[in-house]
């Protein structure tokens, strides 16, 4: 009965959290962003504390430095990125036509015959796709820049997020200690072990994968820009930021970069090979150095489940869902593995052992009376 009550309590608590996220998703972005930022920077604050700096001073130093870096990057990059986005969306139909022309020049005849026999009109299909893509980009930019709630969201991100991050980062250890004091004493060891595993899984994504995305974005943007690729900054940063979805960032960034290289440099194969080598080098660095050292196996989820979690939470809760998808999926994965571990030890899996029937005691033999 106690186990049933505990399950009911935690199931109701989970339902309340999901309902609150669904109802308040539009206003929770700055709070979630502040929580994620504080969680990301907590190890830095702990390191400064070990060096003798008070927690409040360490928090102020970290946040002021972070805000200055973000503001400088926005001032330097935002005009360039805005210009590249506008030019790329307006020139997209022409780029598609250029790729179709290259296809007509380079594709083998059997492939052209196969497309013709199947009734596929490649130039018309690509032109239609380019027009739709340009319309989507324009619609997204319009909604971001002119939406009635957009200004409120931007202001809240710039104002509320640093405030939330400051209080969370300053009070992080006290909050952990307070929550630890609320844990049921009978299950203290088990809950602490699960909390440690959840923290390792979430840190693997928020701190580890976040660092990987930033490093990859900087590498791709700088390398593609130095290679002379048009929109290299936009494609490189986009590929790095999309790397939080397994394989998606490298695929989308690689396709865009190689397609742009074919349009811009053809028939100069040397420049095209340089662009391919940049993405191959980025994947080699990520797979052999960045991910093993920064992420490792701490998330404990298959890439397919990671992608499913991102799409599912993004569909249900929007951008807030994308921020929470993988950390929550990692936490759920820890709990599911614990539940399976308990199940494999339970009588439900092992079966209820049947007691062996003891043999009935035999009657003692009667001795015949002595003669």
pLDDT digits (tens, 9 = 90+) for 231-240: 888 888 888 8
Instruction: Specify burial of residue 302 (Cβ count, 10 A radius: 0-12, 13-18, 19+).
Output: exposed
pLDDT at residue 182 in the model? 78
Least trusted range by pLDDT, from 29-43, 231-245, 345-359? 345-359
Mean pLDDT value across the chain:
75
When pLDDT is averaged across residues 347-355 and rounded to a whole number, the result is 67
CA distance 204 to 327: 9
Max mean pLDDT range (62-66, 106-110, 341-345) = 62-66
* pLDDT for position 167: 84
Q: How many angstroms separate the first and last alpha carbons of the chain? A: 69
Q: How confident is the model at residue 30 (pLDDT cuts 50, 70, 90)?
A: confident
Give residue 335's Cα distance to chain centre: 19
28 DSSP 8-state letter: -
Query: d(Cα 214, Cα 226) in Å, to the nearest integer?
Result: 18
Give the model's pLDDT for residue 75: 83
What is the share, in percent, of the chain residues with pLDDT greater than 90?
1
Q: Can you give the pLDDT at residue 124?
A: 58
Give the pLDDT mean for 325-335: 79
32 DSSP assignment? H
Q: What does the alpha-carbon distance between residue 285 and residue 279 come to, in Å, rounded to a whole number? A: 10
pLDDT tens digits for range 239-255: 888 777 666 777 888 88
- pLDDT at res. 352: 64
pLDDT of residue 177: 82
206's tokens: 């928020």
How far apart (Å, rounded) are the C-alpha atoms in residues 162 and 170? 12
Strand (E) or helix (H) holding 118: none
């Amino acid at each position: 009965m106690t186990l049933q009550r505990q399950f009911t309590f935690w199931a109701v608590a989970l339902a309340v959290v999901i309902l609150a996220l669904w109802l308040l998703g539009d206003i929770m972005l700055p709070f979630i962003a502040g929580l994620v930022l504080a969680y990301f920077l907590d190890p830095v604050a702990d390191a400064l504390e070990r060096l003798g700096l008070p927690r409040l001073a360490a928090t102020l130093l970290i946040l002021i430095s972070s805000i200055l870096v973000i503001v400088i990057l926005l001032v330097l990059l935002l005009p360039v990125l805005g210009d590249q986005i506008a030019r790329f969306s307006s020139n997209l139909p022409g780029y598609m036509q250029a790729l179709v022309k290259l296809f007509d020049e380079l594709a083998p005849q059997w492939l052209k015959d196969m497309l013709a026999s199947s009734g596929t009109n490649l130039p018309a299909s690509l032109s239609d796709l380019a027009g739709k893509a340009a319309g989507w980009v324009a619609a997204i930019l319009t909604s971001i820049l002119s939406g009635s709630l957009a200004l409120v969201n931007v202001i809240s991100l710039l104002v509320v997020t640093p405030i939330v991050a400051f209080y969370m980062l300053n009070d992080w250890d006290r909050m952990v200690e307070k929550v630890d004091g609320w844990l049921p004493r009978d299950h203290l060891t088990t809950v602490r072990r699960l909390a440690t595993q959840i923290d390792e899984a979430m840190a693997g994504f928020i701190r580890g994968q976040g660092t990987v995305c930033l490093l990859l974005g900087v590498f791709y943007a700088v390398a593609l820009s130095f290679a002379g690729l048009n929109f290299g900054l936009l494609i490189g940063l986009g590929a790095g930021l999309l790397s939080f979805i397994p394989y998606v960032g490298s695929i989308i960034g690689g396709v865009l970069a190689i397609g742009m290289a074919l349009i811009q440099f053809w028939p100069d194969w040397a420049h095209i090979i340089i662009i391919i080598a940049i993405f191959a080098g980025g994947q080699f660095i990520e797979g052999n150095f960045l991910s093993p050292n920064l992420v490792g196996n701490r998330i404990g989820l298959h890439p397919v489940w990671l992608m499913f979690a991102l799409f599912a939470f993004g569909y249900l809760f929007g951008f807030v869902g994308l921020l929470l998808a993988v950390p929550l999926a990692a936490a759920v994965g820890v709990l599911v593995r614990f539940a399976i571990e308990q199940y494999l030890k339970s009588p439900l899996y092992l079966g209820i052992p049947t007691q062996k029937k003891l043999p009935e005691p035999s009657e003692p033999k009667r001795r015949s009376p002595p003669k």
